[in-house]
Amino acid sequence: MKLGIVGLPNVGKSTLFNSLTQAGADAANYPFCTIDPNVGIVPVPDERLRRLTDMHHSEKLTPAVIEFVDIAGLVKGASKGEGLGNQFLSHIREVDAIVHVVRCFEDSNVVHVEDKIDPIRDIEIIDIELVLADLEIIERRLSKVLKSAKSDKSYQREADILEHLKAQMDKGMKARSASLDSLNLSQEEEELVKNLNLLTMKPVMYAANVSEEDLADDGVNCDYARRVRELAEREGSSVFVVCAKIESEIAELDDDEKLMFLNDLGISESGLDRLVKASYRLLGLISFLTAGPKESRAWTITRGTKAPGAAGKIHSDFERGFIRAEIVSYADLINAGSYAAAKERGLVRSEGKEYVMKDGDVTLFRFNV
């Protein structure tokens, strides 16, 4: 999973990125302090893995990971090269989803590129730049397709799809909101649209970056955060509240200190924990687990994946030679106290090729190649 962190300059992107990844991106009180996209690999917090490691005396614990890309601040005109424009927009095309950091705090010591705090305006500025960048992609492709359609009518259908998209996006609509239902797209045509790799087709979650005072009640009494939530609800996006400043302090603590710090703040989980959960929901992901004396590990799959597909996540041979999956739910395994005890109680199930994997399935694949 690869997430791109975007937003206007000085909204807290790089501070949040640093605290999430501890990768040391520059964070300064002026625009464009991040010149190249910073990339950090973050282990997905999962208490289940630690308990499985203890139970099986595993030599190694391997969590699932998220890759974060911190993309430099965008401004009005970025799609036309303003600020550091297009080079950053190109980086967003490589991610699975976008985390849009929105400033929802007042601080006279931190300048705002637009002079005044207004999260909805800030979101609209970024959205417009992404739509304009997408229109440029569509128009370039449409020009080529129309030329080809003059001599080969098979291109006309693609031209119709592109013109339909362009017409809606010319009105400022994002690609993911543009209705394509009336076109009755085939699976191949859906793939064609997907391969355009449009920025505004990517799922988005908003990170409402609030003050320390507004963090404890999850931003309920913060008018800025409320407005972001209302906008997200209208467009079907998700929101999580975070305080980048607090996250940067949490990042300096060990696990025990972190827990005490969170308790003192009156919150139960860090911004990373909330972001991971929001990301999994947004992208429709779950984790299944494998455990043994050599390694306990989490594997990320799309919700609805069947057992052979999950086996293929480990190795293509596992999918190709799939026989069955021996599965026990994590809760049943922990309650039983050991894999052997779970098996004695009949809690370990044998599942075939049509089994749909569930989050927390502790799995042993049987295969033959």
DSSP string of 259-315, one letter each residue: HHHHHHHT-SS-HHHHHHHHHHHHHTEEEEEE--SSEEEEEEEETT-BHHHHHHHH-
Burial tier of 188 (Cβ tally within 10 Å: 0-12, 13-18, 19+)? exposed
Given a contact cutoff of 8 angstroms between Cβ atoms, the answer to whether 211 and 106 are in contact is: yes
What's the mean pLDDT when you consider all of the chain?
Answer: 87
Greater model confidence, 127 or 266: 127
Q: In the sheet where 238-242 sits, what is the strand order?
A: 38-43, 65-70, 2-6, 97-103, 204-209, 238-242
Distance, in Å, from the CA atom of 101 to the CA atom of 3, rounded to the nearest integer, reads 12
Cα separation values, 83 from 34, 126, 176, 235, 282, Å = 12, 13, 26, 28, 30
Q: Which two tokens stand for residue 91?
A: 């980086």
Q: If pLDDT is split at 50, 70 and 90, which confidence band does 30 have?
A: very low
What's the pLDDT score for residue 348? 97
What's the pLDDT score for residue 317? 94
DSSP readout, 196-236? T--GGGS-EEEEEE--HHHHTTTTTT-HHHHHHHHHHHHHT
Residue with tokens 């499985």: 52
Query: What is the phi-psi region of residue 32: left when phi exceeds 0, alpha when psi lies from -120 to 50, beta otherwise?
Result: left
Q: What is the pLDDT of residues 45-83, one digit of tens each?
A: 889 999 999 999 999 999 998 888 887 656 566 556 554
Q: What is the pLDDT of residues 112-146, one digit of tens each?
A: 666 788 999 999 988 988 898 899 899 999 999 99
Angle at 267 between CA 263 and CA 272, to 5 degrees: 110
- Choose among 13, 63, 59, 60: nearest CA to 34: 13
Helix axes of 271-283 and 13-21: crossing angle, nearest 10 degrees:
100
Q: What is the pLDDT of residues 288-305, one digit of tens each?
A: 999 999 999 999 999 999
pTM over 0.85: no
Classify residue 72 by its DSSP letter: P
Distance, in Å, from the CA atom of 242 to the CA atom of 271, rounded to the nearest integer, reads 6
Strand partners, 81: none
What's the pLDDT score for residue 70? 82
What's the pLDDT score for residue 31? 46
Q: Which two tokens stand for residue 37?
A: 């996209």
What's the pLDDT score for residue 75? 59
Strand partners, 207: 101, 240
Distance, in Å, from the CA atom of 97 to the CA atom of 284, rounded to the nearest integer, reads 12
Classify residue 346 by its DSSP letter: T
Given a contact cutoff of 8 angstroms between Cβ atoms, the answer to whether 247 and 16 are in contact is: yes
What percentage of the chain reaches a pLDDT higher than 90? Answer: 48
Distance, in Å, from the CA atom of 156 to the CA atom of 150, rounded to the nearest integer, reads 9
DSSP readout, 86-150? HHHHHHHTT-SEEEEEEE----TTS--TTSS--HHHHHHHHHHHHHHHHHHHHHHHHHHHHHHHT
DSSP readout, 5-61? EE-STTSSHHHHHHHHH-------SSTT---S-EEEEEEPP-HHHHHHHHHHT-SEE
Q: If pLDDT is split at 50, 70 and 90, which confidence band does 19 have?
A: confident
Q: If pLDDT is split at 50, 70 and 90, which confidence band does 92 have?
A: confident
Q: What is the pLDDT of residues 167-215, one digit of tens each?
A: 999 998 899 888 787 888 888 998 999 889 898 999 999 999 999 889 8
